[in-house]
Amino acid sequence: MTGAEPRRDLVLLGGGHTHALALRMLAMKPAPATRITLVSDTDFAPYSGMLPGLVAGHYSFEDTHIDLRRFCSGRGIRFVRAAATGIDRKRRQLLLAGRPPLEYDLLSINIGAQPELVVPGAREHAVPVKPVGSFYQRWQALELRVRKGGQPRILLVGGGAGSVELALAMRFRLGNAADIGLLSGDSLLPGYNRRAVDIVRAHLATHRIELLENSRVTRVTEASVECGELSEYCDELIWCTGVVPVSWLADTGFDTDERGFLRVDDDLQVVGETGVFAAGDVAVQWQNPRPRAGVYAVRQAPVLAHNLAAALEGQPLRQHRPQRRFLSLLSLGGRVAVADRGVLSASGGWVWRWKDRIDRKFMAQFTEPAPPMRPAAADPEMHCGGCGAKLPAETLRQALANVADRHPGTINLKRLRDDAAVIDWPAKRLVQTVDTLREFLPDPWLMGRITALHALSDIYAMGAAPHSVQVNVCLPYAAPTLQRRELEQLLGGLAEELAAANCALVGGHSMEGPELSLGLAVNGSLTDGTSLAKSGAEIGDKLILTKPLGTGVVFAAAMGGNAPGQAIAGAIDSMLRSNRSAASLARQFGASACTDVTGFGLAGHLLEMLGKKQQAVLDEVPALPGVAALLQAGYRSSLHPGNLAALAELVLNRKNAMPADAFPPLLCDPQTSGGLLIAIHESSCAALLAELQSGGDPAAVIGELREAKGKHPRIVLG
């Protein structure tokens, strides 16, 4: 978010090369009063120029992929992980799979293209190179099979630069453990000069890669490729031919060419549209068409970044004039490459080192630390406190109405009109809890879901069933339209989890303030009259933890853009797992005590569970992916020191008193939507653990309760 009070939404769909570079430029010179959101169906955007090097083993996954979550974090850019399913032009909405539409004032599209699999049997039996993420997983599996033995025959379909580079990279990686062939529908490397093509032919022959030119594939079966009357046997077929646009583009009503790609003017704005831009493989500059190549996408970025900022301010747009010729550097498997430009060509190790420097320099732009956030400009408007801070009635009405349309059983608009909720109570005993979370994720839909699960967890941990909830929302200062959009996303995520829990939203309060926060007051019922209390654990009980730890440290690091995307994604996946099933199983198997692990960390909540003269002997405690490295690097939640101070006198190791600074920091890490900590008799432990794991809970036994020597409960580290 840039400026003091955002008044428009710039949404970028797709994390391709053009958008990644454009976002970097926009972050360096933020557009005022603009909220920027990047929507991508993957956390990691591959750099296509380094894919052959990744396959050959010259580079790691991290070397060749842009960590989009990490890049956006700390730069004031929202990141939304979602797959687009369409665009509503009239409502200016981006339609997303599994979540509410996202509205935009300005939209840019850079989603690339997908493989053209029109040949009969290709879709069922071929492995397309795009999307790169799924191809790389298939390649790793293939490499593992080859290493285990056998001599598979691998065929690559396509005679362009990508298929040539991949064939030679596979040969370099696999050595002589596979037979590799290349099928080119036409002549090899169309558009390259003769000398460069001769160099590539020589390398293919030297490395025993069979080349079949003018062999257009007409049919694919499980074990063969047919080229007219010719049939070639293969164990694995890699598809590196042309691409087509995603199918839903045809339904948008945007101007497209005969193949379905978006037609854009030289200012990169979709023909006939105002405020909709497109770049990269998804688009064609109809006045200056060029082949689909990464170099063109990269060169579009400065113009796109300028024009997005200019369009927001009503300023003139620049024209992009793509060059007619460009330098092409093809890697040849080992650390050798060939250069081609016009009639000139060269090859050798020095060309590969040249290409390597260019590629690494490109990727370094996305791994450098985020620039310091600029202080927000002074807000020209005064914002009232008290009831003057409430959201406008129309903003609230529109958001509630739109969410209620999608969740009519969870939100009853007529009941929400009254001053207070009237609840038809089904049980004799009421369980209530209150929880509030400040924004720690820049995606309000996820914030709504996680806050709901976090609050509902207290009800589940007591062995109760959720019944109804009241909500207290504080939205950041923004234009009313943006606040309405924010509220719809927030309540949409909240309603999704409440609906899954059969819990009704019966009332609440909304206001505006400096930052987003969401509080829930949840009512639950004990239908059988008994609760699953935090106390009650007995000597000899085993301790089961249903989720790994580490959400606190992950988002502490993420605040400065220092948490890897994989760590953030792992933490989100964990927080989105409900404790409903785990709590039900705990009651079913006769757990003696249960609590959910949240702000006070595992150690703090465990001490609340222990009785006098009880000590918990802990074994290894599981952590979320990437957490150990972040802890080693010194990242801690701001609540960590307070949690540690509260435990300093209550923790011992087996022999001597343990100084506070030596206590494992993971055990003091505050959790958001953490797992359950369950104490259960040893005789039932294995059965409960098996049921939890079979249901998908990553549960583990982390220790047991023993008799303590002193008067106070203790935690002992095994």
d(CA 322, CA 296): 7
CA angle 115–119–120, rounded 5-degree value: 125
d(CA 168, CA 156): 11
Helix residue spans in 148-248 (DSSP H)? 161-174, 194-206
d(CA 382, CA 573): 39
d(CA 441, CA 555): 8
585-602 as b/e, with b when 16 or more CB fall inside 10 Å? bbeebebbbbbbbbbbbb
- The answer to whether the beta carbons of residues 151 and 164 sit under 8 Å apart is no
Active-site pick, 387, 474, 594, 685: 387
List the beta bridge partners of residue 243.
115
Q: What's the first-to-final CA gap in the chain, in angstroms?
A: 47
Q: Quick one: DSSP state of residue 31?
A: P
Determine whether 384 is an active site residue.
Answer: no
d(CA 623, CA 548): 5
Report helix, strand or coil for 407.
coil
- The answer to whether the beta carbons of residues 486 and 557 sit under 8 Å apart is no
Q: Quick one: DSSP state of residue 272?
A: T
CA distances to 65, 147, 180, 620 from 144, rounded to whole Å, are: 22, 5, 16, 31
Token pair 């045809």 is at which residue? Answer: 250
Classify the C-alpha dihedral 194-198-199-200 as positive or negative.
positive
CA distances to 18, 35, 307, 318, 362 from 25, rounded to whole Å, are: 11, 15, 12, 15, 14
CA distances to 170, 187, 600, 686 from 190, rounded to whole Å, are: 22, 7, 64, 64
Token digits for 109?
């599209």
- For residue 192, with 0-12 CB atoms within 10 Å meaning exposed, 13-18 middle and 19 or more buried, which class applies? buried
Token digits for 179?
């037979």
d(CA 178, CA 182): 13
Token pair 């113009």 is at which residue? Answer: 303
Output the DSSP codes for 396-453.
Answer: HHHHHHHHHHH-TTTB-TTGGGSSS------SSEEEEEEEEEE--SS-HHHHHHHHHH
SS3 readout for 449-479:
HHHHHHHHHHHHHCCCEEEEEEEEEEEECCC
d(CA 465, CA 509): 24
At position 532, the amino acid (one-letter code) is: L
d(CA 402, CA 495): 12
d(CA 484, CA 590): 46
- The answer to whether the beta carbons of residues 560 and 74 sit under 8 Å apart is yes
- The answer to whether the beta carbons of residues 524 and 464 sit under 8 Å apart is yes
List the beta bridge partners of residue 102.
94
Residues with catalytic roles? 387
